[in-house]
Chains A and B, each alone.
Chain A
Amino acid sequence: MSIDYALVQAINTLFYASILFLIASGLSLIYGIMRILNLAHGSFYMLGAYISYTAAMLWIGPTPAGFVAGFVLSLAFLAAVGALTERILIRPLYSKPSELQLLLTFALMIALDDVVKMIWGPEYKSFTKLPWGYMSIGHYSVPIYMLVVIASSTIIGLLLWWFFAKTTIGKQMRAAAYNPEIAAALGMNTDLLFVSAFALGSALSGFAGAMASPILTAYPGMGTDAIVLSFAVIVIGGMGSILGSVVGALIAAIARTVMVIVYPLLEVALIYIVMIIVLLVKPTGLFGKEIVERR
């Protein structure tokens, strides 16, 4: 194996890990703060992908401006969708058995697939062009776009860490995660904290979709693939931990690359094997805290 080839595979792996991290950290922070497992989280990823496609291929054209517009639009749109989902669909169910939340978000996931088919049709949507050109590594050529995605995801990871470690609202979200009733009785607006956390987590997923689709295309059902993979990432890394999402995403991406090299037909199989091993050895995930059932 040449150095060039290894470098290309490393970039591929980091690109894939960046996308997985963005989706999984959103899912994990929503679960960590609200104990809501949003099965439609992957569908938000899909919506982000289609919005990015629409902006870059249908409206503005595959220029850097078109792509950046797509990223910003997806981020904003999915933040709004997340806020509305929490406010209208999920809030009435906080005091109800958690099966209801699962059923409801499952229904939303199915419905969004149909919405996407209705608006954009059932076929795959490919981007004809990537912005920012290519870089050659030996006789391989790697899109600079991938490096932009890796850098963006790294910056977002650092911002998330800063947000939860340093800002009052981030700390209030952690307080509300521990005990929402006490937080509210102490004067914290938990409604606002929850709707913001849900919007933030959903926006991360939408942004992930927007960044992924130029390479991985957009198609109905991609949300289901994404949610299943991000479960694996979270199980490996641990629920409710940003560092866990980073490590989980890296491990999953490495496992995928290994399979792509040795047996591409089973691209994601090793991810699930790792997941099962972690579940057996350390059920809380590598960096997970004990998550207490709240109600």
Chain B
Amino acid sequence: MKILVKSIWTKLGGIDVLRGVTLEISSTSSIALIGRNGAGKTTLLRTILGILKPYRGSIVVEKGGEQIQTTRMKPYKIARLGIGYVPQGRMIFPDLTVEENLEVAYGSPVPSDVLEWIYTIIPDLKKLRKRLGMYLSGGEQQMLAIARALVRRPKILLLDEPLEGLAPRIVKTITKTLRDIREEGVGLFITEPGNIKRIKPLAEKAYGIDRGEIVYSGNVDGILQDPVARRRIWGL
């Protein structure tokens, strides 16, 4: 499966936040999207998911040899094509338990084989099954957000700053979990505000974004050498 983003322009509050973004996301690779605060990373994910509508350009999902126009599709239909979403700040439903958070995303009580699969990838969640979302630590919330995105068995996961605001030890655990998910044949698209060192073990390729424009596309290490990316993302 592939998501083809074709020169999309998205406005927020009358301002062009995405300005002709073109990129490709695939179920057979792991890609980082690097850009500093306010660059438009979240806006791009929300546009891909149909929460925001671009006023120019188009988004196509390529699936089983079919080309599906998702530009004007409802978010829940886009999600059901096989796209999982781990939002920035986790956004766990606070008054639902861990298992209920999974249940609402799945659409019915999660079948035991899917639950087993999730608990083999994220074993720590199993003992937290009955705990309310509001009582989870940041790391536990991040694990749940990932699990919640996995219940529909998506082909591609969109993760918005999954390593941000977590202790180094937790970053390590999440990194391992995401690598396992990649091994399971799920494509990853991960945003990262600027820490190349921690995103490197997770990504095979990188895009750089600044002020709504793609300013780099290539391998992860290359972004630190690229003069345009260095200037626009790090101001060097």
Q: Which residues of A contact B51 (CB under 8 A)?
A: 181, 184-185
CB within 8 Å for A188 and B76 given contacts A168-B103, A172-B104, A182-B91: yes
The minimal Cβ–Cβ distance linking A208 to chain B, given in whole angstroms, is: 27
By beta carbon, the residue of chain B nearest A181 is B51
Rounded to whole angstroms, the CA-CA distance of A168 and B109 in the bound complex is 7
Contacting B75 at CB < 8 Å: which of A172, A174, A175, A184? Answer: A184
* Residue-wise interface mask of A (159-183) relative to B, using a CB-CB cutoff of 8 A (1 in contact, 0 not): 0000000001001101100110111
Per DSSP, are chain A's interface residues mostly helix, strand or loop, or mixed? helix
The minimal Cβ–Cβ distance linking B107 to chain A, given in whole angstroms, is: 7
- Is A182 within 8 A of B87, CB to CB? yes
- Is B105 within 8 A of A186, CB to CB? yes
Q: Which residues of B contact A188 (CB under 8 A)?
A: 76, 104-105, 107
* Residue-wise interface mask of B (90-103) relative to A, using a CB-CB cutoff of 8 A (1 in contact, 0 not): 01011110001101
Interface residue A92 (Cβ < 8 Å from any Cβ of B): no
Interface residue A105 (Cβ < 8 Å from any Cβ of B): no
Rounded to whole angstroms, the CA-CA distance of A182 and B133 in the bound complex is 15
Rounded to whole angstroms, the CA-CA distance of A185 and B70 in the bound complex is 13
Rounded to whole angstroms, the CA-CA distance of A186 and B150 in the bound complex is 10
Interface residue B189 (Cβ < 8 Å from any Cβ of A): no
Q: Which residues of A contact B50 (CB under 8 A)?
A: 184-185
Interface residue B25 (Cβ < 8 Å from any Cβ of A): no
Size of the B side of the interface (Cβ < 8 Å), in residues, is 27
CB within 8 Å for A168 and B104 given contacts A181-B75, A185-B51: yes
By beta carbon, the residue of chain A nearest B148 is A186
By beta carbon, the residue of chain B nearest A182 is B91
Interface residue B63 (Cβ < 8 Å from any Cβ of A): no
Interface residue A191 (Cβ < 8 Å from any Cβ of B): yes
Chain A interface: which size bin?
10 to 19
Q: Which residues of A contact B143 (CB under 8 A)?
A: none
- CB under 8 Å from chain B, chain A span 168-220: 168, 171-172, 174-175, 178-179, 181-191
Q: Which residues of A contact B80 (CB under 8 A)?
A: 187
Most buried by B among A171, A186, A188, A190: A186
By beta carbon, the residue of chain A nearest B78 is A185
- Is A184 within 8 A of B100, CB to CB? no
CB within 8 Å for A175 and B74 given contacts A185-B87, A186-B85, A186-B149: no
Rounded to whole angstroms, the CA-CA distance of A183 and B148 in the bound complex is 11
The minimal Cβ–Cβ distance linking B139 to chain A, given in whole angstroms, is: 19
Interface residue B202 (Cβ < 8 Å from any Cβ of A): no
- Is B75 within 8 A of A185, CB to CB? yes
- Is A171 within 8 A of B100, CB to CB? yes
Rounded to whole angstroms, the CA-CA distance of A59 and B39 in the bound complex is 66
The minimal Cβ–Cβ distance linking A28 to chain B, given in whole angstroms, is: 16
Q: Which residues of B contact A190 (CB under 8 A)?
A: 76
- Is B49 within 8 A of A183, CB to CB? no
Q: Which residues of B contact A171 (CB under 8 A)?
A: 96, 100, 103-104
Contacting A178 at CB < 8 Å: which of B49, B75, B94? Answer: B94
Q: Which residues of A contact B108 (CB under 8 A)?
A: 168
The minimal Cβ–Cβ distance linking A183 to chain B, given in whole angstroms, is: 7
Interface residue B152 (Cβ < 8 Å from any Cβ of A): yes
Q: Which residues of B contact A174 (CB under 8 A)?
A: 93, 95-96
By beta carbon, the residue of chain A nearest B87 is A182
CB within 8 Å for A175 and B76 given contacts A168-B109, A182-B91: no
What are the 4 A-B residue pairs with the smallest beta carbon separation, nearest first?
Answer: A187-B79, A184-B75, A186-B105, A175-B104
A/B interface sample: 26 pairs, CB < 8 A: A168-B108, A168-B109, A171-B100, A172-B104, A174-B93, A175-B93, A175-B104, A182-B87, A183-B104, A185-B49, A185-B50, A185-B51, A185-B75, A185-B76, A185-B79, A185-B85, A185-B87, A186-B79, A186-B85, A186-B104, A186-B105, A187-B79, A187-B105, A188-B104, A190-B76, A191-B74
Additional A-B contacts beyond A175-B96, A185-B49, A188-B76 (11; CB < 8 A): A168-B103, A168-B107, A171-B104, A172-B107, A181-B75, A185-B46, A185-B79, A185-B87, A186-B79, A188-B105, A189-B74
